[in-house]
Structure formats: structure tokens, C-alpha cells
Amino acid sequence: MSEIKFETLIKKALPAGQENLFGKNEAVVYKEFELAEARQRTHRGQTQPGDNLHFKFEKVRIGVATALMQVFADMADDEDSRKVLEVLKQAAKGTSVAQIDAIINKNMKAFDNLYKDLFINDDGELLLELFQRTLQADSKSEIDQIINESLKFLDMLQAEE
């Protein structure tokens, strides 16, 4: 069920044709994470080849962050948020945690500039709060909660239009 919510969040947030962040279906990315997390939980220390839980969690976290930043960039319509969005999209293509970290660290200034001289409305503040929580999330339950809150928020935004 959570994989459907993750996929829905990506599809609602990103423009048509740009949803394919990972080179495969978003629901598959989430399901792979979920399966690795379940195996880790039930078989402590006995992982299967390809589990790589940290990498799979990072992919999900990058997906949620990208969706939120896309909505924020569309609202703010500024260069700083667009730069962060591009960095996140590059990171989503990463093939390891080290590569994702390298992409983010190389472009850290973009993240620092995001909050500089920023004047936003309540919706923008909520988006940035969800974005920050996403970057700090370190568990499946946290990321699932953020996905649920983000979907509710996007539904509210669409209803306002």
C-alpha cells in the first residue's frame, strides 16, 4: 500500500513525463525498500544479496524530497529552488549511497542558498518543513508519515486551485 502512496506522490508532484526519477517505476523502488527493511527486521544480520537497505531507503527519501521540492519550486519560481531540484534529480539517479552523497555534497551550496533571503507564504513554509523532515528522516515509519502528510497537502493545494 505504501508503494502506491509513494508513486502517487511522485506523479502528483512532478510534471507529466518527468515522473521516472529512478529509471524504474516508483512503486518498485518503494517495494524494494520495504522488502529489504522487512528482511532486516525479521532476519537481523542475515541479509540477502541486493538488500542494501541504506541505499534503498536513500532512494525513497530522495524521491519524497524531489516531489516536495518540485512543488516548492513551482510555487516559489526562483533559481535557488530550481537548482536544489536539479541536484535531487541527479541524486535520484545515483547507484550507491556514496554516489548520492557525493552529488549532494558537491552541490551543498544550493541547499544553503535555498533558505537565504526567503520570503514565503504558509503553504511554502509547510512544504519546506516537510522537505526538512524528509532530509532528516531515518526510519520507514517516519518516511511513511511524511508521504501521507505530503499527499494530504498536495490534495489541499489542488482543491484550492
- What pTM, to 2 d.p., does this model score? 0.89
Looking at residue 119, what is its pLDDT? 60
Q: With contact defined as beta carbons under 8 Å apart, do 119 and 86 qualify?
A: no
Looking at residue 128, what is its pLDDT? 87
**One digit per residue, pLDDT tens: the chain, 161 residues?**
689 999 999 999 998 777 678 888 899 999 999 988 888 888 776 656 566 889 999 999 999 999 999 999 998 888 989 999 999 999 999 999 999 999 999 999 988 887 765 666 788 888 889 999 999 999 999 999 999 999 999 999 888 76
Looking at residue 45, what is its pLDDT? 61
Q: If 0-12 CB within 10 Å is exposed, 13-18 middle and 19+ buried, where does residue 89 land?
A: middle
Domain coordinates of the chain in residue numbers? 2-160
CA 1 to chain centre: 17
